[in-house]
Structures are given as structure tokens and as C-alpha cells.
Amino acid sequence: MYLRDVIRKGVEALSPLYPEREAREMVFALLEHYLGTKRHTHVIEPEYEVGVEEASAALAAFDRMASGEPLQYVTGIADFYGRQFHVTPDVLIPRPETELLCRNVLDISGSAGSQKTRILDLCTGSGCIAWTLALELPGSEVTAVDISDGALEVAACQDFTDEISLSGALAPDFVKADLLSPEISLCHPERSEGSFPSHFDILVSNPPYVMESEKALMRPNVLDHEPHLALFVSDEDPLIFYRAVAEWALQLLRPGGYGIVEINEALASGTEDIYRAVDFIDVHTIKDLNDKDRFVFFRKSDVPR
């Protein structure tokens, strides 16, 4: 089968779900993963032939995507901050907006003039934030927490061995813990001392924040395939995770340390109020590139209150 025919069949399969341009981009991305071809290969090589087995695998992948399964789960790969991360249905697919959370941390760390920091990542999922900060700030000690065994397995198996060897960065520690537990504990079963340092410089979190009532606004490929545990909160208490993050921050951030949390844009004001109510300072909302309220920043005072 010619490559151009595989592309045509892929676009035809995905067009009922996606705009044609988006469908074509997804087809090109999948074929680059499966075949190593580029988006222009079929143009400069119109007679480019795809083997029977390869064509069958690509068409089967298109069928999965046509049912709504995200491209990233089909390929097992998602791009984030210039790196490729392994993903499965146990974790959310990293979003471009979350890259801005990492960018803010890196900008602040750069202005502080020190890269050797202790960072705590709550609700780590695929580990994309934890790994990005660990690799971009070589020497930093990153601890990442999640309640899902599946997510922790995915996060821990990310392979950046070559980059670590070149930069001297430290791989994050991944720890199972319940953010909503009344007891705040960072015990690690493989550490003889049993726990991590109690004073972190930076806390980051992208917790569940989509309200149940917002499900109707979501695409089926997200709603039907990504883990609801990492996405949704009840309408009755949509800020439950932010109150928990505030408690963890109170106990585990050092004086002068700061936090950044990704938020529901509709709940920015209420999220800010949580951190002001427990005496964090410099609390403010940061907008994303689409001018939407996306993050809340807070800092722990140097002065005891």
C-alpha cells in the first residue's frame, strides 16, 4: 500500500471526530511513530510503499483513535517540555499549559541564583513535572507523590538515563501517599531513615480540579479514556485538594519557600482565599498563554506569625 493511501485512510477514519486539519496532524504524528516517515514523505516520494504488516498496524491504530482513544495512549508517548514521556491510561496526558508551571519555577529559581533546591510535587501522575524540574535544575532533590500505584509505576519508569549521565541531575524519588489523609507522611519503604527532609524550598501540584458538572464540556477522548481519579472533584467541594495542599505546604515548606498549583480557571479567587486564610503571603493568580487564570502562587513567610 502506498503511504499516501495510508494517510488518506487515516484522515477518513479520524475526520468524524476531529477537524480535518487536526486529523491530518494526528495521522502524520502516528505514522512518524510507527513508520519513521515525515509529514512531507508522501509528497517528495509519491510512490513510497508501506509493508503489509506496517500498514495493518497503522490502520489498527487509526481504528483505536477513531473510537476516541487519544493518540498519546496509542503510541505510549507524550511530549512535554521538549522531552518524550511514557504514558498509559493510568496517568493524565501532560498538557502544554502545565509546561508553564515548570517555566515559572525555573524562572524563579534562576533569579534566586541557586539550582540546588528541594522540590515536592504532589499528585505527580506521569511524573512530567517532577522529571522536568529535576532535569532542568541539576542537583535538585525532587520528591514526587501520588496515591495511584499505576501512576507511580509510570512515573518511576521514565527513562532519562543519558541526560542524567551528562548533567549530573538526580532522578526524582516517587512515593505513595494520600494527599487527603489527615496524617501528612512522606515515608519511603526503601530508605533506612524512613522519611524525607521536612523542609522543601518549592512545592508544586496539578491536582484534580475539574468539577463533575463540567464533564459535559469535555471531549469524549478525555472523558472516556483518561483517569477520572486524576481529573474530577465533586461540585460540593471542588477545592478539597487545594486545602490539602495548603496543609502539606504549611508543614513541609521551609520559611520563605513557595508553591505553585495549577487551578480551575473558574475557581481562582476561592483558591487564593485558601492560601491567604492560612497566612501564606504574596498570593496571586498567574495567567496562561491564553490569558486564562491557570496557577496560584503562594509563599511561606520568613517571619513566624
* Vertex 278: Cα angle to 272 and 279 (nearest 5): 90
Residue 62 has pLDDT above 60, yes or no: yes
Q: 282-300 pLDDT, tens per residue?
A: 999 999 999 999 999 999 9
pLDDT given for residue 109 in this prediction: 86
Picking from 112, 167, 159, 111, the residue whose alpha carbon sits closest to that of residue 139 is 167
pLDDT of 90-140, one tens digit each? 999 999 999 999 999 999 987 544 457 999 999 999 999 999 999 999 999
pLDDT for the residue 39: 87
> What is the rounded CA–CA span in Å between residue 280 and residue 71?
40
Give the residue with greater pLDDT, 277 vs 109.
277
- What is the pLDDT averaged over residues 144-173? 96
What pLDDT digit, counting tens, does each position of 149-158 carry? Answer: 999 999 999 9
Q: What is the C-alpha separation between 279 and 55, in angstroms, rounded?
A: 60
Give the chain's mean pLDDT. Answer: 91
Mean pLDDT of 47-60: 93
Q: What's the pLDDT score for residue 195?
A: 54
CA distance 120 to 260: 11
| 242-275 pLDDT tens trace | 999 999 999 999 999 999 999 999 999 999 999 9
What's the grid cell of residue 246?
Answer: 495548603
pLDDT at 1 > cutoff 80: yes
CA atoms of 78 and 62, how far apart (whole Å): 17
pLDDT confidence of residue 265: 95
| 41-55, 118-132, 156-170, 190-204: segment of lowest average pLDDT | 190-204
Q: Averaged over 74-94, what is the pLDDT?
A: 97
* Mean pLDDT in residue range 176-182: 92
Amino acid at 81: Y
Report the DSSP beta bridge partners of residue 205. Answer: 122, 261
**The pLDDT value given to residue 277:** 97
Q: Is 145 helix (H, G, I), strand (E, B) or coil?
A: strand
Confidence of residue 222 (pLDDT cuts 50, 70, 90): confident
Q: What's residue 194's pLDDT?
A: 46
pLDDT exceeds cutoff 80 at 239: yes
Task: List Cβ neighbours of 212 (8 Å cut-off, separation of 6 or more).
Answer: 232, 233, 234, 235
Q: Are 137 and 172 in contact (CB under 8 A)?
A: no
For position 197, what pLDDT does the model report?
A: 57
Characterize the bridge pairing of strands 200-205 and 253-262.
Answer: parallel
CA distance 107 to 100: 10
Q: Around 253, how many Cα atoms within 13 Å sit in the side-chain half-sphere?
A: 24
- Superfamily, domain 90-299: Vaccinia Virus protein VP39 (3.40.50.150)
* pLDDT above 60: residue 42: yes
* Confidence at residue 188, expressed as pLDDT on a 0 to 100 scale: 56
Task: Express each pLDDT in 7-38 by its tens digit.
Answer: 999 999 999 999 999 999 999 999 999 999 99
| 207 SS3 class | coil
Confidence at 215, pLDDT banded by 50, 70, 90: confident
